[in-house]
Amino acid sequence: MSVGPGSVSGSVSCAGPLSDILGFGRIEGKLEEHSGIYECVYKTSPDITGQVNISVSPQVMAYKKSEHGNEGDTGVLTCKNPSFPPVSFWAWYRNGHELIVNGSGRYIIKSSGNKTELRILKLNIEEDTGDYHCNATNSYGSGSAVVNLRVRSRLAALWPFLGIVAEVLVLVTIIFIYEKRRKPDEVLDGKSPAAPPLSDPVNNEV
């Protein structure tokens, strides 16, 4: 049995002249989520088994739909295919059409069965920010998913700290100016009254 993506349901059973069958089941929901090899057993003496393969085109999923990385670090984008049969070929595209070749430039691709990983060395804000498409192909078709990569400046993590430092400096400056202006006023307000003039001892004797 092979189907394309969609919300469908179906039965897993073994056809044959024997009526006593174990392992009859019904699949509800998306059939691609239940793809794989099913085994049913004919209850005879001895038992006879049969297989039903539910095969679909790749149902590719991004490990994370959005990834973040710091400039200069290594970015890692991952996609997987949980359906059956396994993927026979993986490919990565930048912005939907630029094929990424393994080992070219700063790109390293590692693919194994139903999982693929794209590593981007020494992330660059201008060159690497954007959408990356992972495309999978098997004998029943192909499927893809998109991962959005955002590259941040190394100073991005320092901006909150620098903002706090700037606020503290502004506050200290305001307090300093206020105190400097207030001190002359305090000196004037606290100035002691002038002492009376000293009397002339000569005149006092007369």
Q: Judge whether residue 154 has pLDDT over 50.
A: yes
Q: Phi/psi at 65 (nearest 5 deg)?
A: -70, -20
| Best CA proximity match to 132, nearest among 102, 91, 104 | 91
Kindly report the number of other CB atoms within 10 A of residue 34's CB atom.
Answer: 18
Kindly report the number of other CB atoms within 10 A of residue 59's CB atom.
Answer: 19
Q: Which residues pair with 144 in a beta bridge?
A: 135
Which pLDDT does position 182 carry in this prediction?
A: 76
Residue-range domain boundaries for the chain:
11-54, 61-152
Render pLDDT for 8-56 as a digit per residue (tens, 0 to 9).
Answer: 445 455 554 444 444 555 666 666 677 888 777 777 778 777 777 888 9
d(CA 117, CA 102): 11
| Best CA proximity match to 77, nearest among 112, 122, 114, 108 | 108
61-152 folds as: Immunoglobulin-like (2.60.40)
Render pLDDT for 107-128 as a digit per residue (tens, 0 to 9).
Answer: 999 999 899 999 999 999 999 9
80-88 mean pLDDT: 93
172-177 mean pLDDT: 86
Q: Where are the alpha helices (DSSP H) in 80-156?
A: 125-128
- Distances, alpha carbon 54 to alpha carbons 38, 44, 47, in Å: 8, 25, 23
